[in-house]
Amino acid sequence: MRKKEVLNLYKSRTKVYKDSNGLVSKLQANKRDFMVRETAFLTQIIYKNEQITFTKKNDKFPSNQLWVFRLVSEDTQRFVDAVMAGDKEFVCPEKKPVNATNIDYDDSYGTITGTDVNSAYWTIARNLGIISEKTHDRVMADEYKVVRLAALAILGRNMVYKEFKGGEIQKDPFIYKGSDISKSLYKAIRYTCYQHMENISLLLGDDFDAYRTDCIYYRDTPDNRKKVYDYLDQHGFYYKQLEFEDN
């Protein structure tokens, strides 16, 4: 089995709550070459450049949402292919801190407010072109919050497959490490998020208090809120305002 067959898996099928053991036994009996990868949520069988996914019952992700992993994987592969072909540009941003605090913030007057960016990583993945506009919009509902974050978090991870040749399991597994580009995608999404937070903090100046991943805190004034909202609107983010009691 060629490594390229693992890399380009646009042909895929998903079976819900089915037993994958039957197909594995059949492929072994017919002395086929194939690979198997198992996780807590699914089993994937790769045979003749087709990936067949068997979902498992799990409390964390409903079975009718596991297709999001496939959708993100396919979008991501197209993005990587385009970068490698020279059709798209990709540069991983400079690393920024996940949290930052203004130690010189003067809290002797005014009140603190916060603006929390909704689905920041998901929107950034769209903005960077890693996922398509169609995928972004299709999975924006609150019910997909956990699965869409998980689908992004596994980008670039090594995937370990049991490899079968002539129906016989091989001693050493096949480890798909992906390209350097694919390994950098989730890092790029996170660093871009922190860069946005830093940019907003600079707009706020001395009125900036802190940011935590995708939520920024600052002195509550109409002008400051406008600065934050205008920036987030410009970059296509959805957000909500947090209110705190003045102690």
| Model confidence pLDDT, tens digit, residues 157-193 | 888 999 999 999 999 999 887 777 888 999 999 999 9
Contact (CB, 8 A) for 7 and 78: no
What residues make up the domain containing 38? Answer: 3-242
Whether residue 247 lies inside any domain: the answer is no
How many structural domains is the chain composed of?
1
Whether residue 182 lies inside any domain: the answer is yes
pTM: predicted TM-score of the whole model, two decimal places: 0.80
Task: State the Cα–Cα distance between residues 162 and 36, nearest whole angstrom.
Answer: 5
pLDDT of residue 220: 96
Helix (H, G, I), strand (E, B) or coil at 170: coil
pLDDT of residue 155: 84
Whether residue 62 lies inside any domain: the answer is yes
Task: Write out the H or E segment, with its range, that includes residue 134.
Answer: helix 133-138
Write the pLDDT tens digit of every residue in 119-153: 999 999 999 999 999 999 999 999 999 889 888 98
Query: How would you classify the pairing of strands 12-15 and 50-55?
Result: parallel
pLDDT of residue 105: 96
Task: State the Cα–Cα distance between residues 246 and 242, nearest whole angstrom.
Answer: 13
Report residue 2's pLDDT band, with 50, 70 and 90 as the boundaries: very low
pLDDT of residue 164: 96
Report residue 28's pLDDT band, with 50, 70 and 90 as the boundaries: very high
Contact (CB, 8 A) for 189 and 128: yes
Whether residue 12 lies inside any domain: the answer is yes
Whether residue 168 lies inside any domain: the answer is yes
pLDDT of residue 15: 52
Task: State the Cα–Cα distance between residues 11 and 3, nearest whole angstrom.
Answer: 16
Six-digit token string for 151 = 């689908």
